[in-house]
Amino acid sequence: MQTQKHFRSIRTKLISMFSFSALIAILLLSVTMLFNTYQELEKREKIFLQNTQDILLQNLIAPIEFDDEYSAKLLLETLQRDKDIKGAFVFDKKGSIFASYIQQTQESAKLQEKAKQLYTHYKKDKSFILKDKTFIVAGKSIYIDKEYFATFIIFSSTESLNESIWSQFLLTLVVSGVVFLIMVVLAFRFQSRFTQPLFQLKKVMKKITKDKDYNLTLQHSYNDEFGIVFDGFNTMLATIQEQNQKMHNAKLQIEAIHKNTQSSIEYAALIQDAIIPNNNYFDKFFTEYFTMWSPRDVVGGDIYLLEELRNGDECIIMYIDCTGHGVPGAFLTMLVKALERQIIAEINLTNDDVSPSKILSFFNKNMKQLLKQEDEDSLSNVGFDGGVFYYNKREKIVRFAGANTPLFYIKDKNLQVIKGDRYSVGYKKCSLDYTYTQHTLKVEDGMCFYLTTDGFLDQNGGDKSFSFGKRRFLKLIEKYYDKSMQQQKEIFSEELAQYQGEEERNDDITLLGLKI
């Protein structure tokens, strides 16, 4: 005997299947959209945090390098304008907190402890970005001249992100529930009318999920529950679009700040370039010459100066490599130029012999005093390496003194090197009364001199990313010194570029070639 099955009409089955399918479709689309929205918002939060960190990092390098804790702290305190930023820490290479900013909350102590743990774990990594239930954390190590100096860690609360996602989840949940109920009710009488707006909604949701375009709106003329659903959906999209616009405005603001900073640096480059001597000044003293001066950044810490002295038969050339690169190094070159003008003025007022040794000593004493670096407690510790080259055309002599900088020259077809003192200028450790060694040479026609800072020699490249090196540099001089100075400049430039390859520039480059 067969058991009689409970009768279910096709209409009932159709409505049940339609309702069930509609429910599944709404849930899948809602979950997909929420998931993608969450991923996108999280990604943008991380990018915004990293951009904020990069901007601060560019401004923190100088305070860190000059051990300026006060300026670093002021920079970090600018983060208080963003309520989501809960804390920021700069750890020095010893693991101590150099500067910090903490939003005063009950979790402040725990935040500092967490920052220390992250520093311990990630201090050797150049950058990291982490997220947990409470924070998005961005960290970046600060390297200066490939030397690790500090780690910068910034904490941003996930409260706003979670609130946005939760609000969107509730709104999506409500909208989905309303849509489903309306579909069930209207399916009994208006199935065709029911399916049309559903597919319309599904189409737009799919496009949003695919293109991440939250500027779309659902156009409709419904004055029933579907109209409410569509308006709610449009409200949700408008909320997301508003958040996107805020992020876009923040991006524009960051770009404007970057543009203003870049413009200032470019104008500073014009000023720095103006103090570099015109090459025509070399014509009076040398039969041939070439100059290579190339800052690593827009401005740099290298400078060379040429001055004609007294009766016009004497000149002095200073080639200087100041501490640092970019803006900090450029500031020091301005100080060097100011002291150089004082030196030249005093030389021109006397008939005394010009002493490169005394000139370096003058720089050493005055830079330490001007920068308040007379003792170990000084905040800054900067100076320079370089050489002073004096040429008397009438007496046919050259005098030279160097601070960690040699002088290369060719005489009688032989390459010779005068090593400078292994002693820098102006730093805290430099003694005020240090006397630099002075060398005097009798010069003859045809002698060639090569004056260079360490940027050329220290440039990394080759198969093993080693520095160009002094030995390779000397071989170039020996091989090509008998060519014209202009040809030598091209050869030096080509050899360095070929050796450097895809490597980044290490340092500012200054190289002068002079022929008597």
Q: Give pLDDT tens digits for 143-181.
A: 877 788 888 999 998 888 888 888 888 888 887 777 777
- Both tokens of 287, joined, read 């039969």
**DSSP label of 474:** H
Question: What pairs with residue 152 in β-bridges?
Answer: 90, 140
pLDDT tens profile 112-134: 888 888 888 877 667 888 888 88
Same domain, 152 and 187: no
Residue 65 near residue 149 (C-beta atoms within 8 A): yes
pLDDT band at 10; cut points 50, 70, 90 = very low
Query: How far is it, in rounded angstroms, from Cα 175 to Cα 502?
Result: 55
Q: How confident is the model at residue 3 (pLDDT cuts 50, 70, 90)?
A: low
Task: Report helix, strand or coil for 481.
Answer: coil
The answer to whether residues 132 and 192 belong to one domain is no
CATH number at residue 119: 3.30.450.20
Asked if 153 and 173 sit in the same domain, the reply is no
- Rounded to a whole number, what is the distance in angstroms from the first to the last CA of the chain? 124
Q: Is the pLDDT of residue 138 over 60?
A: yes
Least confident of 38-42, 113-117, 296-300, 328-332: 38-42
CATH code of the domain covering residue 481: 3.60.40.10
The answer to whether residues 304 and 450 touch, using CB atoms and an 8 Å cutoff, is no
At 499, is the pLDDT very low, low, confident or very high (cuts 50, 70, 90)? very high
319 and 171 within one domain: no
At residue 307 the predicted structure's pLDDT band, cuts being 50, 70 and 90, is: very high
pLDDT at position 186, please?
Answer: 63
Q: Is the model's pLDDT at 191 over the cut of 80?
A: no
Strands (E), 122-166: 127-131, 135-144, 147-157
Q: Is residue 262 part of a domain?
A: no
Contact 216, 204 (CB under 8 A): yes
Tokens of 330: 């450029």
Domain presence at residue 381: yes
Nearest to 408 by CA among 423, 398, 393: 398
**C-alpha dihedral, 211 to 212 to 216 to 221, nearest 10°:** 80
DSSP 196-258: HHHHHHHHHHHHHHHH--TT--------SHHHHHHHHHHHHHHHHHHHHHHHHHHHHHHHHHH
Mean pLDDT, residues 498-516? 95
Same domain, 391 and 511: yes
Are 362 and 298 contacting, i.e. CB atoms less than 8 angstroms apart?
A: no
Among candidate residues 110, 151, 104, 152, the one with its CA nearest the CA of residue 134: 110
Amino acid 446 reads G
Q: Looking at 138, 158, 178, which one is the last position of a domain? A: 158
Residue 441 shares a structural domain with residue 427: yes
Q: Which domain holds residue 492?
A: 276-515
How far is it, in rounded angstroms, from Cα 37 to Cα 39?
Answer: 5
299: pLDDT strictly greater than 80: yes
pTM greater than 0.85: no
Is residue 271 classed exposed, middle or buried when 0-12, 13-18 and 19+ CB atoms within 10 A define those classes?
A: exposed
Is 90 exceeded by the pLDDT of residue 23? no
> Are 438 and 339 members of one domain?
yes
pLDDT tens digits for 196-240?
A: 676 777 777 887 778 777 777 777 777 777 778 878 888 888 888
**Do residues 235 and 323 share a domain?**
no
- Report the alpha-carbon distance of residue 339 to residue 337 in Å, rounded: 5
Same domain, 35 and 77: no
Confidence of residue 47 (pLDDT cuts 50, 70, 90): confident
The number of domains in the chain is 3
- Give the SS3 label for residue 496: helix
d(CA 159, CA 283): 69
Query: What DSSP element (H or E) covers 461?
Result: strand 460-461
pLDDT of residue 218: 75
Q: What is the pLDDT of residues 444-457, one digit of tens each?
A: 999 999 999 999 99
**Per-residue confidence at 361, pLDDT binned at 50, 70, 90?**
very high
Q: Tell me the pLDDT tens digit for each residue of 59-77.
A: 888 888 888 888 888 888 8
Whether the predicted pLDDT of 190 surpasses 80: no
